[in-house]
Amino acid sequence: MDRRTFLGALASGLLAAPHAAGQQVAKVWRIGYLGNGNPTQSATLNGFRLGLREFGWLEGQNVSIAYRWADGNLDRLPALASDLVKVPLDVLHLSGFPAVRAALQATRTVPIVSALMGDPVAAGFAASLARPGGNVTGLTVQFQDLATKQLQMLKETVAKVVRVAILYDLTTPNADVLQAAEAAARALGLKGRVLSIRAVPDLEGAFRTARAEDAKAMYVMPSPMLARHRPRLAELAVKYQLPGIYEEKGYVAAGGLMSYGPNFPDLFRRSASYVDRIFKGAKPGDLPIEQPTTFELVINLKTAKALGLTIPRSLLQQADQVIE
């Protein structure tokens, strides 16, 4: 190679080097999304995607999401979680105690963000809310603290109610919430009757029993399985004339009477902030578990009419949303 050729090659190499460095492909972060329902229940998933976008994480660009869906069958969660962690993940996103338990059985190293769970300290998932330790963080809703308010609203709505049915899904153990609901009923002078079910075919039998025992209202316990079948619950409530209260407005949109609780899609949106911080180097055990500070009351007046109820003005004035 002569001197001129050598110098030309050297100059070309020096000019090309910065360009080549600029062509380095940015990392695509990987999320595993473990869903209790299915993709058609999109309100919470959309909330999570919105939260990701707010932090600049765009699915298909700088983040990829591997989905697994239980379709309301929580017994599938352990196998689905195990399958998910075989994919190299930067974070595993989910909601609810059954999903958290399944994820912890599958991994103790992949960061786990739960958009919604009960008391993680009592369940042994976290050392404390302020400093969880371990690999689980996210948001917690203390549903047991809401039981008194929910039952009080139900009592205010249903005149002369004495007996109230408590619908309890055995596939979603919520012993602390159940105890709180029973205690709240007693404190309000109500006779609470727990009706336990394991599957959707059990639902009508529970409503039939409640009606036969002269229950005048129904308190529906938090449950991914029940949430999967909101329209069926609404249909049975009207058929058996059992006004119900639920933990979130998806039930009311499906025809339920009223709900009081946190905004679930917003919890999923907020959970994206945990994913963002983990991507930026934070450890899940160092991220405090948050609790919602605002709750919303949603009332369906069309359902109230079908149940022969007049919603008290005091409740209507408190309502964040009224469906007519």
Give 60-94 as a DSSP string. TTTEEEEEEE-TT-GGGHHHHHHHHTTS--SEEEE
pLDDT tens profile 281-300 = 999 999 999 999 899 999 99
Checking if the pLDDT of 15 tops 80, the result is no
User: In this structure, which topology does domain 29-141+264-286 adopt according to CATH?
Assistant: Rossmann fold (3.40.50)
| Residues in CB range of 55: below 8 A, 6 or more apart | 272, 273, 275, 276
Alpha-carbon gap, residue 279 to 287, rounded angstroms:
13
Alpha-carbon gap, residue 226 to 206, rounded angstroms:
13
Write down the pTM of the prediction: 0.85
Confidence of residue 71 (pLDDT cuts 50, 70, 90): confident
pLDDT tens profile 144-180 = 889 999 999 999 999 889 999 999 999 887 888 999 9
> CATH number of 143-261+295-323: 2.170.130.30, 3.40.47.10, 3.40.630.30, 3.40.50.2300?
3.40.50.2300
Q: What is the pLDDT of residue 23?
A: 53
Measure CA 241 to chain center. 28
Strand partners of residue 193 = 165
DSSP alpha helix (H) spans, the chain: 3-22, 42-54, 77-84, 97-106, 143-157, 175-187, 203-212, 224-228, 230-239, 249-253, 264-279, 301-306, 313-318
Alpha-carbon gap, residue 254 to 177, rounded angstroms:
24
Q: Where in the chain is the domain with CATH 3.40.50.2300?
A: 29-141+264-286, 143-261+295-323
| Residues in CB range of 122: below 8 A, 6 or more apart | 176
